[in-house]
């Protein structure tokens, strides 16, 4: 059981109240994981700024990375959230399951990206050179490589926040991989 409550707007700092209000308008609710960040006066704002930072990756590519990283880190919260977001970005259920496994038979470029994200996460940054070469040979650039590493770090932060706080998942639960 979690020692972390899901904070309400009334329980957070004035700065975080403003962020909660913005999330309500943008998303329709404050995801429980974001409420966990709000135990800190600065972490929620800092994380949202990192998550929304400019990147050379498309929204679909970001979701491919988020799904692969969250699967390696076994974060049911992020898997559930990014399954929903992946669907909003046009992925099918079967494509999402493949991306979680670090592959994409339906798109060779995304296949190289998902494999890279999985390998970076599994190897904790000691990425296999063949995986990097495959990524670059698929048409990605060194800029894309660095942006992918940053995104792996971004998602790993959320995976760790959930793993530590164990706040309830407030998205439809992602199905397990077989």
Q: What length does the chain have?
A: 178
Asked if 15 and 33 sit in the same domain, the reply is yes
- Find the mean pLDDT for residues 92-114: 98
Take residue 170 and report the two structure tokens written for it. 């407030």
Given a cut of 80, is residue 15 above it in pLDDT? yes
The least confident of 3-7, 93-97, 140-144 is 3-7
Four-point Cα dihedral 98, 133, 117, 53, nearest 10? -120
In a domain, 110, yes or no: yes
What confidence score (pLDDT) does residue 144 get?
98
pLDDT level of residue 4 (50, 70, 90 thresholds): confident
Residue 108 lies in a domain: yes
For the cut 60, the answer to whether the pLDDT of residue 178 exceeds it is yes
> Of 17, 33, 51, at which residue does a domain stop?
51
- For the domain that residue 92 is a member of, what is the CATH number? 1.20.1290.10
Same domain, 71 and 19: no
Domain that holds residue 28: 9-51
Whether residues 41 and 85 fall in one domain: no
One domain for residues 92 and 41: no
Q: Does residue 72 share a domain with residue 41? A: no
| Cβ contacts of 82-87, under 8 Å, gap ≥ 24 | 83/171, 83/172, 83/174, 84/171, 84/172
- Kindly give, in sequence order, each residue whose CB lies less than 8 Å from that of residue 148, ignoring residues fewer than 6 positions away: 57, 65, 113, 116, 117, 120, 135, 140
pLDDT at 109: 98
How do residues 124-136 score in pLDDT, each as one tens digit?
999 999 999 999 9
Are 45 and 114 members of one domain? no
pLDDT at 151 over 60: yes
Asked whether residue 25 carries a pLDDT value surpassing 90, the answer given is yes
Total domains in the chain come to 2
Residue 3 is predicted with a pLDDT of 76
Over 80: is that where the pLDDT of 2 sits? no
> Could you tell me if 37 and 64 lie in one domain?
no
Closest alpha carbon to 115 in 57, 67, 58? 67
Asked whether residue 138 is assigned to any structural domain, the reply reads yes
Which residues, 6 or more positions from 124, have their beta carbon under 8 angstroms from its beta carbon? none
* Shared-domain flag, residues 90 and 35: no
CA 167 to CA 7: how far, in whole Å? Answer: 10
Judge whether 2 and 165 are in contact, CB under 8 Å. Answer: yes
pLDDT in tens, 61-102: 999 999 999 999 999 999 999 999 999 999 999 999 999 999
Does the residue 171 lie in any domain?
no
């Amino acid at each position: 059981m979690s020692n972390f409550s899901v904070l309400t707007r009334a329980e957070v700092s004035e700065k975080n109240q403003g962020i909660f209000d913005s999330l309500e308008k943008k998303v329709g609710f404050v995801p429980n994981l974001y409420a966990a960040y709000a135990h800190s006066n600065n972490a929620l704002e800092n994380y949202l700024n990192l998550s929304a930072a400019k990147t050379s990756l498309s929204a679909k590519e970001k979701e491919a990375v988020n799904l692969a990283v969250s699967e390696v880190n076994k974060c049911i919260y992020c898997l559930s959230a990014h399954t929903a977001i992946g669907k909003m970005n046009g992925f099918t259920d079967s494509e999402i399951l493949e991306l979680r496994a670090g592959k994409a038979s339906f798109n060779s470029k995304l296949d190289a990206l998902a494999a890279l994200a999985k390998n970076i996460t599994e190897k904790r940054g000691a990425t296999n050179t063949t995986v990097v070469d495959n990524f670059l040979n698929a048409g990605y650039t060194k800029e894309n490589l660095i942006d992918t590493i940053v995104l792996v770090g971004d998602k790993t932060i959320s995976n760790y926040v959930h793993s530590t706080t164990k706040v309830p998942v407030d998205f439809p639960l992602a199905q397990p991989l077989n």
